[in-house]
Structure 1
Amino acid sequence: MKNFIETLRNIWRIKELREKILLTLGLLLVYRVGSNVPLPGIDIASLEGLKDQAAGGLMGLLDAFTGGAFSNASILGLGIMPYISASIVIQLLGLAVPAIQKLQKDGESGRTKLTQMTRYLTIAICAAQAPAYIANLGMQNVGYTLPQNLFWVLSIATLIAGTIFAMWLGERITDKGIGNGISLLIMVGIIANLPQAFMQELVAKVEQDSGGWVVFILEMAAIYLVIMFAIALTQAVRKVPLQYAKRTAAGGAVAGRPLGRDYLPLRVNAAGVMPIIFAQAIMFIPISVASFNQSESMSWVRNFFGDIQGVWYNLTFALLIILFTYFYTAIQVNTNNIADDLKRNGGFVPGVKPGRSTAEYLDEILSRITLPGAFLLAVLAILPAIAMMTGMTQQWAQFYGGTSLLIIVGVVLDTLMQIESYLLNRHYDGLMKTGRLKGRSTANAI
């Protein structure tokens, strides 16, 4: 405890780090306040139907990511998800569109243009989602006090502006604050549901005589182990040894190898949380279609995809996660580019020829470590369903794995890694005495 307090003092002594943390906390507070500001003209007393809709399924996932803004009919009701969708689309287009591939290789200027394209695409996605959101309010019997046409125009404009504002907050946090801003906004939205879920579970176990304090303490121990498992999966790497050729500088002196590690870290879970998000989106499509068709022929679809605790549902979910893990890893880790970069810098894998042979060698290693990583990710994704089978409430069970836990763990590790780098650069001890934090790459940040 003494070392922890001393670390906090060291953080506070560094003026630049202190200002970044305070700015980040301030902008996150603004985001949370905005999540509770309703759309103009909304009848707050009529939101029960919307809250019931957000209790589970795809809408529940959106509500969790927006920190309750979706079910509150807030000005930030769409949250930051349109920006995430636009980023994924741009990334996928990079596989097929040569112009985008060129921008991805153009360094800072290319990234600036891609960021601008992502912003425009975000506005386009918001323009499509905002009317759907307003139409859904009517389907859930949410009332409003303004004339219908005026309400639609104001609400659509407000929702689009709200997402743009959230995007701006995230970019400001990334540029001026600490951590990845977009990821922090999502994490804060998820954590906002944690106190309520905790109290519901506590009341259910203690006051409703569903096991008492003993079962509740066992649940706390279980969630601790699950968090440790998620951290291990996030940080696990396969270290590929590297060597660098010596280079002779002017005057005959030998120049040292380029700065960097003497090994190449290939992540066991290079895809991050994206396979779970893709798989969830696929699983929600059939039930969403079946909800508009109440015929008897679609009943099996509603039964199969509506039972998130079912064996076949979770087996299908796990298989989709494994497939998407391989797919997104192939997108995220380009072994040909890695091999070319090593060759240009005089680096090579001992016993492997530079160039194509190195790319094939790295690709083989990546294929081998991705398989256990995909299986472990699938296990982590279905843990919330297993937790619900044991009698936990749905809100509390979602923190036992899945998208929520992986995002929280990844963002916290990434933020702590940045804080530790500031401490070490100022000759202070890091956050951990036993080793250095290995946060995820910002490329994997959500």
Structure 2
Amino acid sequence: MRLELARRIAITIGALLIFRLGSHIPLAGLSVRADLNSTNILARLSVLSLSLIPYITAAIIIQLISVVWGRVGALERSGEAGRRKISRATLILTLLLATFQSFGVASGIQSIPGLVTEPGGWFLLSATATLTGGVFFLVWLSEQITRHGIGNGIALILFVGVVVTLPAEVAGTLELVRRGGISANVALLAGGISSAMVIVVILVERARRNVAVEYAARQAGSRLLPPRSSVLPIKLNSAGFLIPSTVTPWVFYLPLALATFIFGQTPWLAVAFDHMQFGRPAHMIVGAIAVFVLAFVYTACVLDPERAANTLREQGGAIADVAPGEPTAAYLDRVVTLTTVIGAVYLAAISVIPEALVAYGELPYFFGGGSALIVVCTILDLETQVRGYSLTKPGGEYL
């Protein structure tokens, strides 16, 4: 193993260990004498409880805004100065979302009898500041992993958050089987469905629609580059794994939370919250629609057929039987639309099917679609980065 690669892996492991350590640091002001009904809640209330969800949501919202607001999109493509402004706007939106969510969490746990030592304004302020600060600490830590480690820092932190819960969830399922809560056949069926889901995710995430491109001979400085053939790969799922696992829950609960803040606890809001609980038909229907629509919008942000057509023309490339310029952009737009339909249906299915099986099939819930996407996509990205790094450093030192 190369020394540089080993150094990066060591930095990544160290940063992830820091993340896990922080996940066990409890919020200040919680009572260690909380009753048994509050034990599970107490165990989850660490300074890093919000994880990176507010930051990821803010980043995706900014990207979606850049699709519908050309000025923001142009700013993103204007160079380093424009990207810094986009980054600053993302952090500001992260602060707003994290503060809003932190205040909601602090208010909720303060209302649980015996969980907070001294309820009141000071606890609300300190808990909100602590949870919000935890989000920004993880943003910084993920950037260090991306710059100095191996892999994408955000994806790896989400990946670890999923993986560390799997042993306990599997053990809980086995305990249910031992006590007779569910049959062994049901547990095996759940494991088989989870395995099949992982296989489907791997196949789809590796799938590409390759568009054949022919490059004419052209002059590059003093060299004459000969004609060559290539492909333009288009992923079936260009929206990635973040939309179903991070953004969609905000579609459910942010409007309801805002309505509660404005109107208070009203009967119709209580009914709406009840219908939006996990496993309810409204939750699954709205979730599937949200994932499908957001997948299209996000793909439009990351794949621009017109820009790809202009890049091909500048590099002397052309698609067979398609004229350069506007016809090429129209052709690529049709291809991207068709592949996005497949990708959006896949994301919606991978999000809703496990929930439906848990709600109506009496299966134990221990590996959802969003978790499968995070785990598989992170592993595939790590494999690509390690292989690419090794191939680009053929003369490096070895351990």
Give the TM-score of the pair, scaled to structure 2.
0.86
Q: 1:225 aligns with which of 191, 196, 210?
A: 196
Q: 1:268 aligns with which of 233, 236, 242?
A: 236
Q: Offset at 1:76? A: 1.4
Q: Is the 8 A contact 1:286 1:305 kept in 2?
A: no
User: Higher relative contact order at CA 8 Å, sep ≥6: structure 1 or structure 2?
Assistant: 2
Q: Is the 8 A contact 1:274 1:328 kept in 2?
A: no
Q: Is the 8 A contact 1:134 1:152 kept in 2?
A: yes
Q: Offset at 1:153? A: 3.6
Shifted more, 340-349 versus 194-203: the winner is: 340-349
Partner of 1:317: 287
Q: Is the 8 A contact 1:287 1:306 kept in 2?
A: no
Q: How many residues align?
A: 390
Q: 1:424 aligns with which of 365, 370, 391?
A: 391
Q: Offset at 1:400? A: 4.1
Q: Is the 8 A contact 1:83 1:167 kept in 2?
A: yes
Q: Is the 8 A contact 2:213 2:320 kept in 1?
A: yes
Q: Is the 8 A contact 1:230 1:409 kept in 2?
A: yes
Give the Cα–Cα distance (whole angstroms) in 1 for the partners of residues 153 and 194 of structure 2: 26
Q: Is the 8 A contact 1:268 1:369 kept in 2?
A: yes
Q: 1:404 aligns with which of 364, 368, 371?
A: 371
1:342-361 Cα shifts (integer Å, max 9, x gaps): 22222221221222211111
Q: 1:154 aligns with which of 102, 114, 126?
A: 126
Q: 1:281 aligns with which of 250, 257, 263?
A: 250
Q: Is the 8 A contact 1:290 1:301 kept in 2?
A: no
SS of alignment partner, residue 75 of structure 1: coil
Partner of 2:217: 246
Judged with a 3 Å threshold, the aligned counterparts in structure 2 of structure 1 residues 332 and 43 are, in CA distance, closer, same or farther, namely same
Give the residue type in structure 1 aligned to 2:353. Answer: L
> What is the correspondence of 1:425-444 to structure 2 with a 5 Å cutoff?
425-426=392-393
1:385-409 Cα shifts (integer Å, max 9, x gaps): 2331332223x1xx142x2211111
Judged with a 3 Å threshold, the aligned counterparts in structure 2 of structure 1 residues 360 and 152 are, in CA distance, closer, same or farther, namely same
Q: Offset at 1:275? A: 4.3
Give the residue type in structure 2 aligned to 1:338. Answer: A
2:27 matches 1:39: yes
Partner of 1:17: 5
Q: Offset at 1:98? A: 4.8
Q: Is the 8 A contact 1:49 1:140 kept in 2?
A: no
Judged with a 3 Å threshold, the aligned counterparts in structure 2 of structure 1 residues 48 and 233 are, in CA distance, closer, same or farther, namely farther
Stretches of structure 1 that go unaligned for 5 or more consecutive residues are: 1-12, 55-69, 429-446
Partner of 1:415: 382
Q: Is the 8 A contact 1:238 1:266 kept in 2?
A: yes
SS of alignment partner, residue 234 of structure 2: strand
SS of alignment partner, residue 266 of structure 1: strand
Partner of 1:119: 91
Partner of 1:442: none
Across the aligned residues of Structure 1 and Structure 2, the Cα RMSD in angstroms comes to 3.1
Give the residue type in structure 2 aligned to 1:39. Answer: L
Shifted more, 167-176 versus 104-113: the winner is: 104-113
Q: Is the 8 A contact 2:354 2:368 kept in 1?
A: yes
Judged with a 3 Å threshold, the aligned counterparts in structure 2 of structure 1 residues 157 and 364 are, in CA distance, closer, same or farther, namely same
Give the Cα–Cα distance (whole angstroms) in 2 for the partners of residues 300 and 131 of structure 1: 23
Give the residue type in structure 2 aligned to 1:86. Answer: A
